[in-house]
Structures are given as C-alpha cells and as structure tokens.
Amino acid sequence: MTTCKRRAVWGVLAIGVLSAAGCAQGEVHVLNTAEGGVDVQLGDDEVNDVTADGGALLYTNECFDGPIVVTYAGGRTVKLAVPICPGQELVVTDEGVELVEAESTT
C-alpha cells in the first residue's frame, strides 16, 4: 500500500473514531400538553407553533441560553430565566411551564 493510501485509510479511521467518541448530538425536548398551540423561544432560537398535545425535539450538544419564553395562543407569555440543555425537557401545560429531566429512551 502506498503512503498516500495509508494516510487516507488512517484519516477515515480517525474520523470514525471521533464520531463514535462523543460527537453524537444530545436532545432538548419540548412537550406541549396545553389545550392550544404555543410558540417557544429558547434564547435566540425560536420554535414556532408547537401544537396542542404535540412537541418538538431539538438535536444539539449546546445549551440554549435563557430566557425561555413561551407564548400561548391567547397571547399570555411565561418566562423562565434559565438555560435549557441536552437531556432536559420543557413541559408546557395550561397552568404554566416546567423544566424537567427528559426520560431516557434506552
């Protein structure tokens, strides 16, 4: 095998090892159990139109800086002055908003 081919093989192996060694993305969950749809703002990012009894799943390795702002269909807003990170779930109900640890799927 030529030197060039060996380097290419090692490069592919290195990329595979790095991918398997923690480069997989985490998840941030948004669950809406309220009677109407909501819009959710996670810091600078916005998740529009999370339907009633619906949700959203965001793949990320980063935390979303606060505030978390939930706007209900009627115009009411609820703010949480905290970040949300992978492994956490934002639960929206008619009564308010709660940040909890997401249930493991494994």
Task: Output the pTM of the full model.
Answer: 0.72
pLDDT in tens, 49-62: 899 999 999 999 99
Residue 55, domain member (yes or no): yes
In the sheet where 54-60 sits, what is the strand order? Answer: 54-60, 26-32, 88-92, 97-101
Burial (0-12, 13-18, 19+ Cβ within 10 Å), 47? buried
Residue 89, domain member (yes or no): yes
- Total domain count for the chain? 1
Indicate which CATH number applies to the domain containing 88. Answer: 2.60.40.2890
Residue span of the structural domain in which 47 resides: 25-101
Residue 42, domain member (yes or no): yes
pLDDT in tens, 7-33: 433 433 334 443 444 445 799 999 999
pLDDT at residue 1 in the model: 53
d(CA 71, CA 53): 15
